[in-house]
């Protein structure tokens, strides 16, 4: 294979999902690897993603205010190493901060019930490793939903600020990073076999 597989921090959860048979790759992982190999670059859109993109800068400002950072700016520098690559939302002198825009009050309240999602925790572990930080914060905030073709603006900024967010601390765990790197190596071996299979079958009568 010409292209070397590295896992994006936001996708680490897909390759780290547990397989039915210990030591093998899960079907979720294999499906992701097939998509990565095909490199179709299909754009996925949803109203939730659209809101997240639209309010990201306001959400970063809100986070900085609520967590006492004063000001914070969107990180524009991506990072990578031999195994992992990604770009975090905010980097401070001692922490990585990732912000998520809640769709409405119900989804924010559900986040309170669900607690820290394992996939998000893995994402932050990757960021901390890449940016050499030992602490991370996952911040969920409820911002106004912009007006769209299918709905009017929904205002949440008139709510008390403390009712509009929840955050989780994540500590750096080198054992998690070791497991991720080992899984990336396993994924590369799988992709090598998959590459041979595809190339040996395509363009032939089988």
* pTM, two decimal places: 0.92
State the pLDDT at residue 59.
96
CATH architecture of 44-184: Alpha-Beta Complex (3.90)
Closest CA to 75 of 58, 57, 51, 63: 57
pLDDT at 149 over 90: no
CA nearest to 60, candidates 146, 178, 6, 139: 139
At residue 66, the pLDDT reads: 96
Per-residue pLDDT averaged across 12-34, rounded? 93
Q: What is the pLDDT averaged over residues 140-168?
A: 91
- 8 Å CB contact between 204 and 106: no
Whether the per-residue pLDDT at 74 is higher than 80: the answer is yes
Q: In 10 A of CB 101, how many CB atoms?
A: 24
DSSP codes, 81-94: -SSEEE--SEE-SS
Contact 24, 30 (CB under 8 A): no
At 76-128, the pLDDT tens digits run 999 999 999 999 999 998 999 999 999 999 999 999 999 999 999 999 999 99
Neighbouring CB atoms inside 10 A of 41's CB total 6
Domain extents in the chain: 44-184
**What's the whole-number average pLDDT of the chain?**
93
């Amino acid at each position: 294979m010409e292209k070397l597989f590295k896992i994006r921090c936001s996708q680490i959860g897909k390759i780290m999902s547990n397989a039915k048979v210990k030591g093998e790759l899960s079907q979720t992982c294999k499906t992701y690897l097939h998509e990565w190999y095909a490199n179709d670059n299909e754009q996925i859109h949803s109203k939730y993603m659209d809101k997240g993109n639209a309010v990201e800068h306001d959400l970063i400002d809100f986070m900085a205010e609520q967590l006492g950072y004063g000001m914070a700016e969107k990180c524009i520098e991506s990072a990578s190493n031999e195994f992992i690559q990604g770009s975090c939302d905010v980097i401070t002198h001692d922490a990585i901060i990732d912000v998520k825009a809640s769709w409405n009050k119900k989804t924010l309240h559900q986040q309170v019930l669900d607690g820290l999602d394992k996939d998000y925790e893995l994402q932050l572990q990757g960021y901390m490793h890449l940016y050499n930080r030992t602490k991370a914060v996952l911040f969920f905030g409820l911002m106004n939903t912009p007006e769209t073709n299918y709905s009017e603006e929904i205002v949440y900024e008139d709510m008390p600020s403390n009712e509009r967010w929840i955050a989780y601390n994540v500590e750096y765990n080198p054992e998690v990073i070791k497991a991720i790197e080992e899984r990336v190596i396993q994924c590369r071996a799988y992709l090598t076999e998959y590459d041979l299979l595809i190339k040996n079958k395509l363009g032939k009568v089988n």
